[in-house]
Chains A and B, each alone.
Chain A
């Protein structure tokens, strides 16, 4: 048993599944909460009454499925000297789609490598070609999905409770508490986000976890500010005032009246923030301070392919594949987020039609 847990491959698998499990669990939790509430059900129906929302949600689900397939790691055994050993792990995605590894660049659907006179036949067909190291571009693009979703999803899931907590505290209690919290986030805010991310990543080193932490810090600020603003408004509303006059404690007012009424703002911010996080990850990985090499990231793909763009013939497929995947994911998130905002934003709610 002990040996089992000290096995590095196994740890790897557990971690990889846990990361995505947190995101999926949070999504399920949120959905169940919304469905149990009649108003929530109505809003949900309204959100999905638009075709754009349905399509974009479908795209997001499809991406999630790819990420799930890419999170389930299975051991690869090898029998050496009569002993069965784990030599490495492979994700389900890699088991399902395992293109041959080539030696170097090849164009989409080509049969020979792109190496001038010394072109050699390929071991297999590659729909989107291969990169300089001979890796299949399609597989790489698919592997980028998981990174993007973890970065966006996990960060948001971790930050939401913190953002709500501090935002609500600052907004509801005001005074010193508010001054302190506001001071902290205005300070963090006045360092341009990308520079702060760069500094943090530089200091913490590359990696998915580090990225989530760094982005969590910058995301917290925005969420906290929004929640604080909304709480300030809510605090003055008659039903909160009435609850206070009736002697309800601060804690129960926060739990019963304030937090449920900031949730829609939190949701809108979170969805729209998700796209920002995915885009930032691409930039950081492009700068070489994002995820570790080999994790699979669209930013890293673009970075690698950058030099090949100057070749003749132009090696366009890597950049195009990564850019397109990035575009589709962000577009889907933006369209869905817009719809959610249109339905939930109180400022638009009053508007007829």
Chain B
């Protein structure tokens, strides 16, 4: 199968979401789950998607695999390109082959994401059978290897365990092993460590990092915790109220945020460096998804909001690797812009 790559070929490899808009039809009117989301994960790259609870991170993640419940969800606009193909045009059969195959996903709550009444081995082997055609003893062996790869001790024995017999961290490792079964090129990890203890969080994150590096697999790490993205991801997208408000190389954005929201988020995050200052909390609350304010959605909470922000939607402004949607962004510090 040969395909002539269109101009700008690099960008057609990996995942590229363009202008995605997802709307939920609810009793209280339409709720916007994602609005104009544009985002890219290149092969082998680790990218973070960060934002407060309810901002639409999961919605974005689920849209990639087209797993949103329909109804109420509706993808109103946009394209989701994976290796140049628009996933929104895939048939349900093609989509099913893709899921757990080239693109895999893991979720926030490992304890409820595994089927409680089936053994780990059963769930691994059925996934292997589906994507690799392995069966019987070969599948058994491969399943044990996968458990080993995610650093589960005594993999053979664990195959016969039921999910409830494992700890939360072990369950998440099993979820990762299940995701690896189809040799994915992209792993979407939706808050994979939120439900876990801090020490286990670090282990899981470094496991994901290792696997990505070793397998050359893309990773979209969805989280609300800015403190875990540094050094583990190369680029970062910040989301607020269903829109991407800022993006750029992780280090740069963390060092000098441009959007007031990113800045506030950073100030609120309990990172090692900032502990002395104590927690700064963003004033006001996240608006509900069916009543987003007009103009810039952050303006009611923004310390720098001007009159214009309340009725005009800021356009995406790109400066080199970095981009932001704000009329009055923090200026880029001199040395950084020279560096770019």
A79 within 8 A of B: no
- Shortest Cβ gap from A138 to chain B (Å): 45
B319 within 8 A of A: no
- Shortest Cβ gap from B284 to chain A (Å): 25
B303 within 8 A of A: no
A352 within 8 A of B: yes
> Per-residue 0/1 for B10-47: is the Cβ within 8 Å of any A Cβ (1 yes, 0 no)?
00000000000000111100000000000000000000
B288 within 8 A of A: no
From DSSP, what is the main secondary structure of chain A's interface residues?
A: loop
A203 within 8 A of B: no
Chain B 51-85 interface residues, beta-carbon cutoff 8 Å to A? 71-72
Q: In the assembly, what is the distance between CA of A353 and CA of B26, in Å?
A: 5
- In the complex, the chain A residue whose C-beta lies closest to that of B25 is A353
> Per-residue 0/1 for A337-353: is the Cβ within 8 Å of any B Cβ (1 yes, 0 no)?
00000000000000011
Residues of B within 8 A of A353 (CB): 25-27, 71-72
- Shortest Cβ gap from A84 to chain B (Å): 65
B interface residues, how many (CB within 8 angstroms): 6
- Shortest Cβ gap from A348 to chain B (Å): 12
Q: In the assembly, what is the distance between CA of A352 and CA of B31, in Å?
A: 11
Residues of A within 8 A of B26 (CB): 352-353
- Shortest Cβ gap from A239 to chain B (Å): 21
- In the complex, the chain B residue whose C-beta lies closest to that of A46 is B27
Chain A 183-216 interface residues, beta-carbon cutoff 8 Å to B? none
- Shortest Cβ gap from B31 to chain A (Å): 9
- Shortest Cβ gap from B208 to chain A (Å): 32
Chain A 311-353 interface residues, beta-carbon cutoff 8 Å to B? 352-353
- Shortest Cβ gap from B272 to chain A (Å): 35
- In the complex, the chain B residue whose C-beta lies closest to that of A349 is B27
Q: In the assembly, what is the distance between CA of A213 and CA of B72, in Å?
A: 48
- Shortest Cβ gap from B29 to chain A (Å): 11
Of the candidates B24, B27, B71, the one having the most CB atoms from chain A within 10 angstroms of its own CB is B27
Q: In the assembly, what is the distance between CA of A352 and CA of B69, in Å?
A: 11
- In the complex, the chain A residue whose C-beta lies closest to that of B71 is A353
Residues of A within 8 A of B27 (CB): 352-353
Residues of B within 8 A of A352 (CB): 24, 26-27, 72
Q: In the assembly, what is the distance between CA of A352 and CA of B26, in Å?
A: 6
Q: In the assembly, what is the distance between CA of A353 and CA of B73, in Å?
A: 10
Q: In the assembly, what is the distance between CA of A352 and CA of B73, in Å?
A: 10
Q: In the assembly, what is the distance between CA of A157 and CA of B26, in Å?
A: 37
- Shortest Cβ gap from A55 to chain B (Å): 23
Residues of A within 8 A of B71 (CB): 353
> Per-residue 0/1 for A66-92: is the Cβ within 8 Å of any B Cβ (1 yes, 0 no)?
000000000000000000000000000
A-B CB contact pairs (8 Å), 9 listed: A352-B24, A352-B26, A352-B27, A352-B72, A353-B25, A353-B26, A353-B27, A353-B71, A353-B72
7 extra A-B contacts, CB within 8 A, seeds A352-B24, A353-B26: A352-B26, A352-B27, A352-B72, A353-B25, A353-B27, A353-B71, A353-B72
Across the A-B interface, give the 6 residue pairs with the lowest CB-CB distance, nearest first: A352-B26, A353-B72, A352-B72, A353-B71, A353-B25, A353-B26
